[in-house]
Structure 1
Amino acid sequence: MLAVLGLSSTAEAVYMRLAGRSQSRSVELAEALGLKEDEISAALAELAELSLVRPSREDPASVRAVSVSVALTKLIRDQEAQLAQTIQELAAMRAAVVEAAASLGLAYDHTERLIGIDAIETKLEILAQEVKDECLAVLPGGAQSQASLNASRPLDEEALRRGITLCNLYQDTMRYDEPTRTYAEWLVEQGGQVRTAPVLPPRMLIFDRRVAVVPMDPDNSLAGALITREPGIVATLVATYQLAWTAAVPYSRGQNMHEDHGLTEIQHKLLTLLAQGMTDEAVAKRLGIGLRTVRRQMSAIMDRLGAQSRFEAGMKVARNSWL
């Protein structure tokens, strides 16, 4: 497990030494490992940056090892929080650009509006035929409609046959929808790339990093789509996509969701968001699931805890250190 952290050999040796003891001082570590004190100091700084060591409360001059799983969980949660904030900032930037363009009447050649499903699908077919290298897609909302999946398959098949790189980014909750999960597995088997994340930017398609398609209203896909070739707007969308893709998890057939204290991944994220003060409606939108699903999952958590109210459930969650 330490290998995934990219530790130096010295830091790894120091951690392994600490892992078998309650605490140790730098001098003791240097003597035991045959290293200089400045080497020990650098290794401890490296470990502290990853939250793998902490000062001993019994002896302030000593340090103790932190469980790798505990450290990794903290790092992942911190990165998720940073990612969510950055995505919100980039989404706001994109919305401002689109709003500014709309206020000008979209009177320039590089942008066009498409109204109606038929017009959108016709344009996507043309763009799919014209793509030369790659297509990047953000598909939020968890489960995708069967109509959307049916429309996408022939386009994806043709693109993959031509050697086009397809990168689809779904919300974690797609794993609970069989048609969407089956489609993702098919795409991976055909050579496409699929990743999932708990929080995604708005829906978008980017062709060859030169043409982008986004909904005119992220909350209403029927309102129409906006196609832009403006370099500044496309570059912003590509940066948003790359940030989300880097933080996402690769998807593979039969992959199970992580469980924490017996909670499913979606239950853990639900509790985390509710603990932050978000409403059921806001949580449903953030996780890409229905309001009924949020309430059903919360009911299941309360049953596990034997709680009669959400307040009581919150007290027991805190007492059990589930968050």
Structure 2
Amino acid sequence: MLDVLAADSDQGRVYRALTARGRLPRDLLVRDTGLSAEAVDGVLAELSEVDLVAEVGADLWEAAPPERAVAAALRAEEDRRRELWRAGEELDRLYHQAQRGAGFSRHVEPVEHPARLIMLTARLQERAAEQVRWLDRPPYSSTPRHFQAQEEIQARRMAEGVRYRTVYSQNVYDDPGLFAAMTRMAELGEHVRLLSELPVKLTIGDDEIALLVPEPDRTGLEGALVVHSSGLLNALCGLFETLWTLALPVSVKREQDQLSDRDRSIITLMAAGATDEAIARRLNLSRRTVVRRIAALLDQLGATTRFQAGVQAAKRGLL
């Protein structure tokens, strides 16, 4: 997947270094990006294949114009959406197959109570050796004490080197406390992205175990499942990665031309698919104000569509 516009990706680091500094040799790319020489070589090879960088001299590299990267991202968007639907269909098939006990009974077990789901979520994080992946959306049943305990676990595990990647639904803007917690964790190193809607609640520890709430809108946290290594777990990992590529990167880094907090919220929500009316409700603004600010933001970012505005803002590190 093309990830060159994401500032926290290896592709994004290399591409940004080249666009910011012009032509650079490999050793300076290693220095500027903080990546290993092997990682830089791999990224250069990947970006060369899609004509986003070119070797213009002996070990001297140059980036293609950013407009080409944006165009490539836009062309890839429809392909990614089709892949999302395919992943969802496969997930649905495997889920119902598991429910019928057709070969998955030893890999899937029900969670009897929301309190046990909270306990299992903590255990999954404690046992993760490399990464925790999360699709975070309502409904929530945790108490303030549980939320505080979750923050403490996550902060400690990230400090110990476990990578957290979370895709939040745009409902995160409805809850000031949850939004503040997301910001705190992002400042500590969580990789955060936003999508207008998420189909399930999901937490994955490494590639070993997952906690799935398959129908949160209909049943709340009832019907949650523990999924061990199996075809279903592989499908869940694939579903997460598809949604991750579709989601909009969100950064808490401050830059000189940083958007205001209100404009950051507006552009993040609109790029994630929210309507003008939905943005107005979530941010307690009038629809007229939202329409006026969106027009100004599109002009400021040189974009003609909401998705393009989101890509441009993310590329500049404004979100």
Normalised TM-score (structure 1): 0.56
- 1:82 is matched with 79
Matches within 5 A, 1:49-68: none
Show CA shifts across 1:139-188 (max 9, x none).
Answer: 14699977463342133134235432222222456467543343233323
* Contact 1:174-1:181 within 8 A present in 2 as well: yes
Paired residue secondary structure (2:106): coil
Match of 1:133 among 130, 134, 157: 130
Matches within 5 A, 1:141-220: 147=144, 149-171=147-169, 174=172, 178-190=176-188, 192-199=189-196, 200=198, 202-219=200-217, 220=219
Distance verdict in 2 for CA 1:77–1:140, change over 3 Å:
farther
Whole-angstrom CA distance in 1 between matches of 2:103 and 2:148: 32
Distance verdict in 2 for CA 1:74–1:299, change over 3 Å:
farther
* Contact 1:205-1:213 within 8 A present in 2 as well: yes
Distance apart, 1:100 and its partner CA: 1.0
- Greater relative contact order (Cα 8 A, min sep 6): structure 1 or 2? 2
Distance verdict in 2 for CA 1:144–1:265, change over 3 Å:
farther
- 2:299 is matched with none
Distance verdict in 2 for CA 1:321–1:241, change over 3 Å:
closer
Whole-angstrom CA distance in 1 between matches of 2:67 and 2:180: 33
Whole-angstrom CA distance in 2 between matches of 1:173 and 1:292: 11
* Contact 2:139-2:220 within 8 A present in 1 as well: no
Match of 2:109 among 112, 127, 134: 112
* Contact 1:211-1:228 within 8 A present in 2 as well: yes
Matched AA of 2:76 = Q
Show CA shifts across 1:108-132 (max 9, x none).
Answer: 2221101321121122233333333
Paired residue secondary structure (2:221): helix
Whole-angstrom CA distance in 2 between matches of 1:115 and 1:123: 11
Query: Structure 2 unaligned runs (5+)?
Result: 6-13, 24-47, 53-64, 295-302, 307-319
Matched AA of 1:139 = D
User: Which stretch of the first structure deviates more once superposed, 177-186 or 69-78?
Assistant: 69-78
Distance apart, 1:266 and its partner CA: 2.5
User: Which stretch of the first structure deviates more once superposed, 241-250 or 199-208?
Assistant: 241-250
Normalised TM-score (structure 2): 0.56
Matches within 5 A, 1:15-34: none
Whole-angstrom CA distance in 2 between matches of 1:71 and 1:258: 29
Matched AA of 2:180 = T
Paired residue secondary structure (1:209): coil
Show CA shifts across 1:11-50 (max 9, x none).
Answer: x9xxxxxxxxxxxxxxxxxxxxxxxxxxxxxxxxx9x988
Distance verdict in 2 for CA 1:122–1:150, change over 3 Å:
same
- 2:28 is matched with none
Query: Structure 1 unaligned runs (5+)?
Result: 13-45, 51-67, 275-279, 306-319
- 1:4 is matched with 15
- 1:310 is matched with none
